[in-house]
Structure 1
Amino acid sequence: MRSARTLGATADPSELKATAERLIERWQESNRFHHGLPHLIEVLQRVDTLAEEAHNPDAVRLAAWYHGAIFDTSMMAEYRRAAGEDKDKSAALAAEELAALGVPEQTIEQICEMILKLKGHAQQCSDIDCQVLSDADLGSLAVEPQKYRKYRENVRKEFSHLEIVDYLDARITIITKLLGRTHLFASPMAKMWEDAARENLAAELARLKAERECLETKPAEEYEPGAHKHAIPAKVAEGQVSKPPTLETEPEPKPRRAGEKPAAEVVGRPVGEEPRTEKPAAETPTAWGIEREPSDLRSLPRRNAKTVRMERRTELEVEDPDRDPPRPSGERPTRPKDDDATGSLFKPLQID
């Protein structure tokens, strides 16, 4: 309402308010998941960010209000061209309603031109106002990864009625065209969004291509349609392919001739051969002085490096009366002295 007043609208405040409320209802239609009212608010916020570069920021704001007012997801061609936003019908709606509000005709023509040039996202547009509107719309691609993931999911919901293969092909076509451009954002202040948008698009394109390749891989013919991938193949179930031998289907052994020994083996040893006897393992004395079988050694505690250090420390702490004679109570230990007059613990090296 403020932008329309600034551009010269002569309608009553009630008419301005009624027009604005109808636009809000359009942006809140049930088939909108991404291209809804939150998307419109974000576009208007980015227009405010880039308003310093625009010649007529209020005209850009009204173009943003009408740029996706008509939304249709029924046609695949419309999705490939404008992601469901019907720019032609939206521009016609803007011309009709703004003219009814008393906005000057020249301003209306400028607003409609900005809306129509969003089909190519201002790729060939030299007008700074048109560039600001295009950059504000494409700013949805330059968000953080988690928010971009939500954007992808919402776009898929809007076209959930399409087959997955058709949707992937259309989405790959759109992203490939965007990445093929020299630059995504035209206005100087929006250049800071370029790297983030390209990173998100490149990651999505790689994911879409991988999903497309998975769909191209057809299931094996021997599996029935709709059967689980680990189910029994149809050819085997119908008896066209021989099943592997089991205990029930294994052929009976051939009869033996007179005097022929059985060739069956039990535990790797012929039936007629005597079992080998192993000698009992010799008793191994352990470090603790206990005689045990080798298998019993596993139950003994292991002596790791920490245990060895503790044993050595214990040996060093044992009192030796010959090495350390007892001192009178209360006497402090004296520092060991060297024969050198300086009292140093290190002797000078003497070389003959």
Structure 2
Amino acid sequence: MNTETASLFQSSWQRSWAALNLSPPGELQQRLLAAYAEPRRHYHTQQHLAECLAHFDAVWEQAQRPGELAIALWFHDAVYDIKGKDNELRSAQWAERALKDSGATEASRQRVSALIMATCHTAAPSDDDAKLLVDIDLAILGASPQRFAEYDRQVAAEYAWVPKLVYGFKRKQVLRSFLERETIYTTAHFHQRLEQQARSNLRRLTSA
């Protein structure tokens, strides 16, 4: 982890909990960062977390409950079992436990949990903060061609256990599903900045 990333993590962590008027459990940040550094991860890593937090910094003022959204980002891939079907649920449960230990209200815990579950990407979010979070999670699709290519290699590495033909077919299915949406990004900020590049990246990859 370089100095810039370490500084981002520290400032985001402090700002997030301060926005909630809460103090986190002492070792929680270290446990989360260790989870994102697990060797089996290739994309869902500290790099992805840092990119998400940097994107959120640019839209912090647009969030209705920025502290909750930030905590949801910190936890959204906290649990990542490449063969697991309940990663988001387990991540949400971890977030709920941590928030409860810190004295967060039940309503706040439930909102954070719902935000994390929105990253399942099974349905378009209706809540404004969920829209921001989902767009942040999908911002990688609109990254530079170089970073997008790196992202594609990283995802492939996480699914190296899947037969190549099966993986290639399923991967294109997923990416085409984003292309088939009327809009990939539902917030004005990310739509204006990333929609065109995301469609270019996806078309190039799915037509290969």
| TM, length-normalised to structure 2 | 0.88
Structure whose alpha-carbon radius of gyration is higher: 1
Which residue of 1 is the match for residue 142 of structure 2? 142
| 1:162 correspondence with 2:162 | yes
> How many Å separate the matches in 2 of 1:27 and 1:71?
8
Which residue of 2 is the match for residue 204 of structure 1? 205
> How many Å separate the matches in 1 of 2:59 and 2:19?
18
| Moved >6 Å (runs of 4+) | none
Q: Is the 8 A contact 2:64 2:129 kept in 1?
A: yes
Please point out which of 5, 19, 37 is paired with 1:6: 19
TM superposition shift of 1:105: 1.6
Task: Report which of the two has the higher share of helix.
Answer: 2
Please point out which of 45, 64, 67 is paired with 2:73: 64
- Percent identity among equivalent residues? 26
SS in 1 for 2:95: helix
| 1:45 correspondence with 2:46 | no
Greater relative contact order: 1 or 2 (C-alpha under 8 angstroms, separation 6 or more)?
2
Which residue of 1 is the match for residue 130 of structure 2? 130
Over aligned residue pairs, what C-alpha RMSD do you find? 1.6
> How many Å separate the matches in 2 of 1:87 and 1:74?
13
Q: Is the 8 A contact 2:19 2:66 kept in 1?
A: no
Q: Is the 8 A contact 1:8 1:102 kept in 2?
A: no
> How many Å separate the matches in 1 of 2:158 and 2:179?
23
TM superposition shift of 1:9: 2.1
Spell out, residue by residue over 1:82-127, the C-alpha distance to the aligned partner (whole angstroms, 9 max, x if none). xxx811111111111111121222111111111112212761x221
> How many Å separate the matches in 2 of 1:199 and 1:73?
27
Structure 2: gaps (5+ residues) = 1-12
Spell out, residue by residue over 1:23-67, the C-alpha distance to the aligned partner (whole angstroms, 9 max, x if none). 010000001111100100000111111222211111111000011
Structure 1: gaps (5+ residues) = 79-84, 208-352
Which residue of 2 is the match for residue 97 of structure 1? 98
Report the count of equivalent residues: 194
State how 1:1-352 maps to structure 2 within 5 Å: 1-2=13-14, 3-9=16-22, 15=25, 17-74=26-83, 78=85, 86-120=87-121, 123=124, 125-192=125-192, 193-207=194-208
SS in 2 for 1:184: coil
